[in-house]
Structure 1
C-alpha cells in the first residue's frame, strides 16, 4: 500500500493537485498576481535561435503588417488543427474498411513514396561495428505565434 502511494505517478498527481489548490488560493487572495505570473510564464518559454535569414533592424516591416501576418497565421493554424482533428476522427472508420467502392466513394490504399531511416537497424549496425551512438541532429525549430495582452505604455 505504501509503495503505491510513493510511485512517481502518485507523486505527480499530488504535486499537480497541490499546484491547483495553490493557484485557487492565490486567485482569491491576489487574482491579478496570478494572471501576471501566467503571462510571464508564457513569455519566458524556451526559444530556439533565429534562422540566418531574419530581417535586419532596418529591414523590418511595419508593425501593422506583422500583426496582420501573425493574425492570419494564427487563424490558419487553428483551421489546420481543426482539419487534422476531423481527419483523425473520420480515419478511425475509414482505416478499418477493406478497399472497395462505397456509394460514390472509392476507398483504396497506395504505397507511400516517402522513406525514413530505420533507426533500430542503424543502431544495431553502429553497435555491431563499435561506432558508438548514432549521430543525431536537431529538427528545424517550429514557428510559434500567439496573441498576448501587452499593457499599454504610458509616456
Structure 2
C-alpha cells in the first residue's frame, strides 16, 4: 500500500517517522497494556528495535488508522504471505475519550482493518487472539462476524491467562 486507503470515511495509511512516538505513547496507555499480551511499559529503545524489525519483515505490516481527520489507532498484520494472516490493534484512548469518539473509532478501525485484509492484502482468512476476560473486544469481534474457534492458556507476563482465538473468513464477513 503506497498511499492512504479510504475505507468508509476512515483511512489506513503507512506509518511515518513522526507517528512512532505517538504509537508508543498509545501502546503504553494502562488500559492498552492491560489488554495486551505484554503488559510492561515499552521503552523508546525497545520500540525502536521493534519498528526496525517490522520494517525489515515482509510478513508484517503496521498501519495508522486515521479517524475524522486525526490519527486514532494502530493496526498490525502478521504472518502475511499466504491467504491468511493474524491481526491486532490499539487505539489512542486518551484522545478518543476526550473527544467522545472511542466507540465510533473502534468500530471504524475494525471495519477498515477487515476491508484492508480482504481487499488490498488479498486474504481469505483473518485470525486474531484476545484475552478471554476482554469481553468488550470479544463482543465487537462477534459483531463483525468473527467466530471464536479455540481457547487456551498461555503465559502473559509470566502469568497463565485464558486466550480466545478468533477467525473471520472472506465468505463469512458481514
- How high is the TM-score relative to the length of structure 1? 0.23
The structure carrying a bigger strand percent of its residues is 2
Higher alpha-carbon Rg: 1
Question: Which of 1 and 2 has higher RCO (CA within 8 Å, sep 6+)?
Answer: 2
